[in-house]
Amino acid sequence: MNNRTIGLALLACGLALATGPTPGLAQFSLEDLAIRAFDITVELTPVALKYEYTGGDIEFTSHGVLRGTTVAQLEVTATSPVTTARFDFDSDVNLTSVAAPGYQVASKRLRDTLTLTFTPALPPGGKVPLTFAYEGGPDYIYNEFVKVGPGSLYPLLISPFGDLSANLGRVVLKITNPGGYNIAGTGKLISRDGNTSTWDSEVPVPWVALAGGQKHTVRDRTVAGVQMEFYVPPGEDRNLDKLADFAGRSVDYYSKLLYPFPYSQLRTVSLLIVGGGIGYPAFLLIDHRAFRNTYSGDLNRDSHLFQLMAHEILHSYVPSQTVPKGNGFIWLSEGFAEYLSLMAVQAVMGPEAFKRELQEERNLYASVVATTTEPALGAITFTNYHGAARRSIYAKGSLVLHMLRGVLGDEVFRKGLAAYFTAYRGKAARVSDFQEVMEQASGQTLDWFFSEWILERVLPDYTIANTTSSPNADGTFRTTVTVRNRGTGSMPVEIGFRTDDGVQIEKVVIASRGEGTVTATTPKAVTHVEIDPHKWLIKKDDKNDVVPVK
């Protein structure tokens, strides 16, 4: 395409993500092929940024040039011969050649999907270096900023679900750019020779990117024992020290919660086209407004900026180390990054900041369910990752993990998280793998929870149908509450019985479209009863949660 029209919503999604499968193409199982290593060499020729606004969208009218060669170490993991491989490869990049020693390789393109056919077929257990040569004008290669992600920077092997699990390999990236540009790659900088820099991912990762610009300057920081570099243009450093501090505290928190931060260097680039942030392995692309302190409304609050940094840093663990695959793979990445960043807010900034940001998730999800019907979390892939589905994956995705924490208890939940991330470090993981680890940590069967909240779409709507209270002969008080679920989904529900001395908590399981009764004996008269006083649950309406007891 000569001119690209990119909607603002698409910008916010993060353009580096692989797309889903193209209908009509032969598909293979997730285990048929894998890439164990990438050796990428690219040359960038940036141009001045030119764009127009068309119907509220940004249309970029100038395009820099990328020339590249990638050697992908392909391995056949199937038990039978494989003839076809599908790659995500930007249609704005022309494939000039593809070769594999000992094989004829035919290529076919359909939009951003590149299909390769091998003659003869690749044998089970076969290993072959696959060399791509390419040239084109992908987004975004400009003097003002450069950002090129996987699928444009190099081809990515895609599964039928569109996930990246087949690309978990060590990556070496060599970048050549004109003089006067500061361009960073993913991983550790291992050499610089004139205008050519070489970067090593250090460990197997599913994707890498590059970013920077002509005006970006490099600022060094060391936080939590991790060497950090910030690439920021002049005038975009108002919040730099604050963001560096937030990044360091996030790294420290995750190192204790999960396992030590798996990279020796961390880089952050200020960009104007990321719509919040994008997190690659130890490589953060952060909205320039966070550095400038120019978000609208109250989004410049510390808890929001902290969560932004913590969310993108968590992506250095998932999908960068624990690589989600299969149904629900986006939730295993974005839902986890959103909720674990909230946990980091809670640990570092305190309970009030946590409550504030958690309420933002509730408000976002309420805006979704009030206007539309979103897919189940397990049904969201990159083919439907927009609108309600995209808002839901962050808001509902994080709230589901919050509910699971409430069901299991804080200690067991943390134990399960650490066990899951440790067990699947450097591996691909499915939703069922996470469920199994949490069941082992808790000693509970959780089929009911994952079926309702990941595979299905449920939405409880609790209301207090009746309350009665009377004194006992010993001076205590007996209060009985009937709670009705006018919606769907069966959950254990906490009921708070409030007296002048505090709140006594009792639990009752309320079935879908059902009701439950719970009784509490308290030393003083109950003045109010409240559904879910600790705010663990997803529910349609919390305006009916508190009623007085007469």
What number is the average pLDDT over the span 516-545?
93
Q: Residue 12 above 60 pLDDT?
A: no
Per DSSP, the chain holds a count of helices (H) and strands (E) of 11, 31
Torsion angle, alpha carbons of 174, 178, 182, 184, to 10: -20
Give the tens place of pLDDT for each residue, 103-143: 999 999 999 999 999 999 999 999 999 999 999 999 999 99
Residues paired with residue 479 on neighbouring β-strands, in sequence order? 469, 520
Asked whether the predicted pLDDT for residue 4 surpasses 50, the reply is no
Q: Is the pLDDT of residue 17 over 60?
A: no
pLDDT confidence of residue 56: 77
The residue among 425, 404, 427 whose CA lies nearest residue 416 is 404
Q: What amino acid occupies position 115? A: T
Are 308 and 276 in contact by the 8 Å Cβ rule? The answer is: yes
Secondary structure class of 408 (helix, strand, coil): helix
The reported pLDDT for the residue numbered 31 is 60
Backbone angles phi, psi at 205, to 5 degrees: -140, 160
Q: Reduce the DSSP state of residue 406 to 3 states and report it.
A: helix
What are the pLDDT digits (tens) for 132-184?
Answer: 999 999 999 999 999 999 999 999 998 777 788 899 999 999 999 999 999 99
Q: pLDDT confidence of 1, banded at 50, 70, 90?
A: very low
Residue with tokens 């020779």: 193
Q: How far apart are CA 550 and CA 543, in angstroms?
A: 19
pLDDT beyond 70 at 24: no
Q: What are the sequence ranges of the domains in the chain?
A: 4-215, 462-548
Fold of 4-215: Immunoglobulin-like (2.60.40)
pLDDT at 487 over 80: yes
Q: What is the 3-state secondary structure (H, E, C) of 336-395?
A: HHHHHHHHHHHHHHCHHHHHHHHHHHHHHHHHHHCCCCCCCHHHCCCCCCCHHHHHHHHH
Q: Is pLDDT above 70 for 328?
A: yes
Q: What is the 3-state secondary structure (H, E, C) of 226-270?
A: EEEEEEECCCCCCCHHHHHHHHHHHHHHHHHHCCCCCCCEEEEEE
- Mean pLDDT over 296-303 rounds to 95
Instruction: Please say whether the beta carbons of 377 and 453 come within 8 A.
Output: yes
Q: How much is the average pLDDT of 312-320?
A: 97
Give yes or no on whether 4-215 and 462-548 have one common fold. Answer: yes
Please state, rounded to an integer, the average pLDDT across all residues of the chain. 91
Per-residue pLDDT tens for 419-454?
A: 999 999 999 999 999 999 999 999 999 999 999 999
- Range with the poorest average pLDDT among 11-20, 65-74, 96-105, 527-536: 11-20
Rounded CA gap, 464 and 517, in Å?
A: 10
Could you tell me what percent of the chain has a pLDDT over 90?
A: 83
Nearest to 436 by CA among 425, 427, 447: 447
Residue bearing tokens 């909230």: 342
Q: Which of 526, 413, 405, 512 is nearest to 456 (CA)?
A: 512
Output the CATH code of domain 462-548: 2.60.40
Does residue 28 come out as left (phi exceeding 0), alpha (psi in the -120 to 50 range) or beta? Answer: beta
As a whole number of angstroms, the distance between CA 97 and CA 155 comes to 13
pLDDT of 514 > 70? The answer is yes
Q: Which residue has the higher pLDDT, 162 or 333?
A: 333
Instruction: Say which range, 7-21, 319-333, 422-436, 468-482, has the weakest mean pLDDT.
Output: 7-21
H or E element in which residue 218 lies: strand 217-223
Cβ count near 434 (within 10 Å): 27
Q: What does residue 312 show for φ and ψ, rounded to 5 degrees?
A: -70, -30
**pLDDT value of residue 194:** 95
Choose the weakest-confidence range: 5-19, 159-173, 186-200: 5-19
Q: What's the confidence (pLDDT) of residue 8?
A: 29
CA dist., res. 325 & res. 206, Å (int): 11
Residue 18, pLDDT above cutoff 50: no
User: Strands, DSSP E only, in 303-345?
Assistant: 322-324
What is the distance between the alpha carbons of residues 263 and 265, in angstroms, rounded to a whole number? 6
User: What secondary structure, in 3-state letters, does 28-75 show?
Assistant: CCCCCEEEEEEEEEEEEECECCCEEEECCEEEECCCCEEEEEEEEEEE
pTM for the whole structure: 0.92
CA distance 317 to 337: 9
